[in-house]
Structure 1
Amino acid sequence: MDHLGQELKLLQDPPNGTKEKPAASCKELLLAHPHLADGYYYIDPNQGSPQDSFIAFCNFTAGGESCISPTQNQVPIKAWLRAYTSEDTFQWFSSLPGGFMLEYQSLSTVQLRFLKLHSTLATQKVSYSCRPHPEGRKLQLEKEIKFLADSRDQSYVTTLQGCTLDNESSVMDTIFHFSTEDLTLLPLRDLTVYHNGDTSHEFGFTVGPVCFS
């Protein structure tokens, strides 16, 4: 009955993705308007007043994903390990000078919780970029990396081969693709690289949008 009620509401007064008539999610907007083009639209997951609706990128090509970008998506490439307090440790990027937690554009805690209730899958991509320093090119050390989950009490851990390029001015990129039905894990909130003594290692990250479907 609830499902039929929602369908009737969509037929009688369909959302159009504007500030005044936002959809609960991009998927709902796609159901109301099957021929809309991919782009930015207003959504209001908690379905209260449209005043707290926010803009999301709707990927209708992928079936109606609701994608929200980080407020700051770029961690510049530099020798971040030198800012660590000690070796043989992990230290979250947000605790370093110039570091920050990953926040997402206009997405409140309440709206994020309701967006997850409308979704069954979350995905996100991160590009890890590194550039070897001349004095560290021969170390070829592996790097252990952690990504802090949205729940703050869990993290993804992975190992990356050392950044060893013949051309010291080049940058090597590695793409991490996160996809989960456990919606407590995304979006990502922080990241860290294990300090294994290679202080010359220069790295940075580009954090992509989190997409719910």
Structure 2
Amino acid sequence: MDTHGALRAEVSSHPDRLVLDQGGEIFKTLHYLSHLIQSIKTPLGTKENPARVCRDLMDCEQKMADGTYWVDPNLGCSSDTIEVSCNFTHGGQTCLKPITASKVEFAVSRVQMNFLHLLSSEVTQHITIHCLNMTVWQEGPGQAPAKRAVRFRAWNGQIFEAGGQFRPEVSMDGCKVQDGRWQQTLFTFRTQDPQQLPIVSVDNLPPASSGKQYRLEVGPACFL
């Protein structure tokens, strides 16, 4: 008897077994889909069961505490989930931390960032420049920003700069004081165009030299 003939004979002699096998596969598929839907409806913020954004965790019945969670804005495979800080005290902000506080670099894929932008309506980020005998914004007290003031490049390529269409909020400009001590200038970026943040580069920084130094302190980009 050939192989196909043997298979037909096996099926015809054990039809119930075939039905049971097919039923088992269908049950496994339904169980998987049920589990997937449940995890989407009630995310835990873990790497295995991430939320899209922190706000989804806030909408769950259980009360969540501020802290570190996992999100997956595109709800794809778990390999590209993102570890973030969730700030439920401020409405469920999803805060992306830079790789290091001294660089404007974020370990997030462009695909995930695009989805995070789509799921958000506003973003805030703070960047502090610590400086020693070096101006980065104003030349002196009461003066307008210098021609060599720093510029900030947004995620979408737009520029935040003095006198430009987009300008950062400057809540403190201690760097205009050059007295041989470390000072700091604090920049705040607050926008309802989520695609502008996070900041991806700080340009036009003056060169460091003897007695003149600076260092960056990059804060998280918090999406809501």
After TM superposition, the score normalised by the length of structure 1 is: 0.70
The alpha-carbon distance between structure 1 residues 205 and 66, as it changes in their structure 2 partners (threshold 3 A), is same
Q: Which residues of structure 1 form unaligned runs of 5+?
A: 1-8, 76-101, 134-138
- CA drift at 1:67: 0.5
Output aligned runs, 1:28-39, within 5 Å.
Answer: 28-39=56-67
The alpha-carbon distance between structure 1 residues 13 and 67, as it changes in their structure 2 partners (threshold 3 A), is same
| Residue 129 (structure 2) pairs with residue 128 (structure 1) | yes
| Residue 161 (structure 2) pairs with residue 157 (structure 1) | yes
| Residue 149 (structure 2) pairs with residue 144 (structure 1) | yes
Output aligned runs, 1:1-213, within 5 Å.
Answer: 13-74=41-102, 102-105=104-107, 107-132=108-133, 142=146, 143-152=148-157, 154-158=158-162, 163-166=176-179, 168=180, 170-193=181-204, 201-213=212-224
CA contact (8 A) 1:131 1:163 kept: no
- CA drift at 1:11: 9.2
Looking at CA atoms only, which structure, 1 or 2, has the larger radius of gyration? 2
Structure number with the higher helix fraction is 2
CA contact (8 A) 1:11 1:32 kept: no
User: What is the root-mean-square deviation of aligned Cα atoms in Å?
Assistant: 2.8
Q: Which moved more, 1:184-193 or 1:157-166?
A: 157-166
Write the deviation string for residues 68-104 of structure 1: whole angstroms up to 9, x where unpaired.
11113216xxxxxxxxxxxxxxxxxxxxxxxxxx321
1:125 & 1:188 partners in 2: Cα distance? Answer: 10
The alpha-carbon distance between structure 1 residues 25 and 126, as it changes in their structure 2 partners (threshold 3 A), is same
1:125 & 1:163 partners in 2: Cα distance? Answer: 19
2:40 & 2:223 partners in 1: Cα distance? Answer: 26
CA contact (8 A) 2:39 2:49 kept: no
Count matched residues: 169
Q: Which residues of structure 2 form unaligned runs of 5+?
A: 1-36, 164-172
Structure number with the higher strand fraction is 1
- CA drift at 1:128: 1.4
Write the deviation string for residues 17-71 of structure 1: whole angstroms up to 9, x where unpaired.
1111100000001111451110010100001222321211000110100001111
**Same amino acid, percent of matched pairs:** 31
CA contact (8 A) 1:149 1:188 kept: yes
- CA drift at 1:146: 0.2
Which of 1 and 2 has higher RCO (CA within 8 Å, sep 6+)? 1
